[in-house]
Amino acid sequence: MIFTTKAEYGVRLLVELGRQANDAPVALKTIAENEGLPLAYLERIVALLKRADLVESTRGAHGGYRLAREPEKVTMDEVVLALEGSVAPMSCFVDESDDTRVLCSHVDDGEACATKLLWLRVQGGVIEALRRTTLAELVAFSAKQDVAQSDQTLGSALPLQSTA
């Protein structure tokens, strides 16, 4: 069970934005360079965040993106939902309509499969974990990481960017 890089990159992008205290927009190019991620791909990802009103943009020179809310008010369930489309442990769990309907292809219509109970619990566990994590927490976490890194050997920090 795995999230795609959309979630990974999107969350990283938001963390980068969250680290900026001021409300000056940040260009995607800056973020791409900071994180070592492909710019063109990030563009498509940030579009998802904008569509979900998690991010605001200003076009033109000196433009870029900023958070639409304070990091404390951004929970990860919203973020991952915007990026991945759904939080479903099984393909038949993807909710087409607005209610969380279970559509399992291998069972009679309207019937639940034997594994419904299990996947519901897993889904609940994931959503709960996502919801209790805010962007502010991740920003603070990454800041702590930075301190730890700069405390250690600065020179021997391998520039191991696997960016081909």
Task: Answer for the pair 93, 102: CB distance below 8 angstroms, yes or no.
Answer: yes
Count the site residues for its own copies by CB under 8 A: 66
**Rule CB under 8 A: which of 22-51 touch its own copies?**
35-37
Count the site residues for DNA by CB under 7 A: 26
* Exposure of 70 in the CB half-sphere (CA atoms within 13 A): 2
Among 24, 33, 53, 58, the residue binding DNA under the rule CB under 7 A is: 58
Closest CA to 42 of 56, 58, 25, 30: 30
Tokens read off for 124: 């609940």
Q: How far is the CB of 143 from its own copies (least distance, A)?
A: 9
Instruction: State the binding string over 65-104 for DNA (x if CB under 7 A, else -).
Output: x-------------------------x-------------
Which residues, in sequence order, are CB contacts of 137 under 8 Å at separation 6+? Answer: none
Strand partners, 57: 65
**Rule CB under 7 A: which of 30-49 touch DNA?**
37-38, 40-41, 43-44, 46-47
Tokens read off for 152: 């250690």
Contact between 121 and DNA (CB under 7 A)? no
Closest CA to 65 of 11, 9, 13, 26: 26
Q: How far apart are CA 85 and CA 91, in angstroms?
A: 12
Among 27, 52, 68, 88, the residue binding its own copies under the rule CB under 8 A is: 88
Q: Residue 15: enclosing H or E segment and its boundaries?
A: helix 5-19
Task: Answer for the pair 23, 91: CB distance below 8 angstroms, yes or no.
Answer: no
Closer residue to DNA (CB): 102 or 134:
102
Query: Interface with its own copies by CB under 8 A: which residues?
Result: 1-3, 5, 7-8, 11-12, 15, 35-37, 76, 80, 84, 87-91, 99-100, 102, 105-106, 108-122, 124-130, 132-133, 137-138, 141-142, 145, 149, 154-164
Query: Interface with DNA by CB under 7 A: which residues?
Result: 4-6, 9, 27-29, 37-38, 40-41, 43-44, 46-47, 50, 57-65, 91
